[in-house]
Amino acid sequence: MYGEFFLEFIRDRRTMGAVAPSSSSLAEKMVRDTIQRGDSVVVEYGPGPGAFTREILKKIDRNTTFLAIEKNPKMAAMFKQIFPSVLLYEDSAENIPRILGEVGESKVDCIISGLPWASFDSGYQERLLQVTLSVLREGGTFATFSYLHSLLLPAGRSFKKKITDHFSRVKRSGTVWSNLPPAFVYRCTK
């Protein structure tokens, strides 16, 4: 799994944005206080081979509508093998309104994002955030991670400013030093 992930990173750096899947410690931090009891629609962006998915499945209950959206065909194929029972759309997160419509929903309680925001240009960050805000219910949660070094990059700083401007509350977790590379979580409330 690690070899294939790294090869995809070499092939398409911008979309993959990472040399290795997230660690279980980061996955736990992403999900633990993010999904709330009673959340009925949960969406994961960019699951890759499913480090966060594993934690999400521990938190949701039988009545939760859970779907994942993965753009990279190799990652989507790997995901389907590992999680055959999870509803996966091989598509871009930008298309979440249409995808939700296909499952008979229009609003989401919680979005867990594995997207490499610091690899995206400012225009694409803004488009994805706007579409995310348009489907998130009032008071809903959007959680995403950032590599520590991204705070030094213009795209990482631009993303931080955008979420601070667009969400009513943004909380940053402590750093997970054991992740490769070290990373932290932004938990944002609409």
Ligand X SMILES: C[S@@+](CC[C@H](N)C(=O)[O-])C[C@H]1O[C@@H](n2cnc3c(N)ncnc32)[C@H](O)[C@@H]1O
From the number of C-beta atoms within 10 Å of its C-beta (0-12, 13-18, 19+), residue 84 rates as exposed
Nearer to ligand X, 139 or 181 (CB): 181
Where does this chain bind ligand X (CB under 6 A)? 15-18, 21-22, 45-48, 51-52, 69-72, 75, 92-93, 114-116
Nearest CA among 29, 48, 65, 53 for reference residue 178: 29
94 close to 127: Cβ distance less than 8 angstroms: yes
Nearer to ligand X, 71 or 160 (CB): 71
What's the min distance (Å) between Cβ of 125 and ligand X? Answer: 11
Q: How distant, in Å, are the alpha carbons of 112, 121, 123, 182, 185 from that of 32?
A: 11, 30, 31, 18, 11
43 close to 91: Cβ distance less than 8 angstroms: no
Nearer to ligand X, 49 or 140 (CB): 49
What's the min distance (Å) between Cβ of 95 and ligand X? Answer: 8
What's the min distance (Å) between Cβ of 124 and ligand X? Answer: 8
What's the min distance (Å) between Cβ of 118 and ligand X? Answer: 10
Nearer to ligand X, 41 or 56 (CB): 56
The amino acid that residue 56 corresponds to is: I
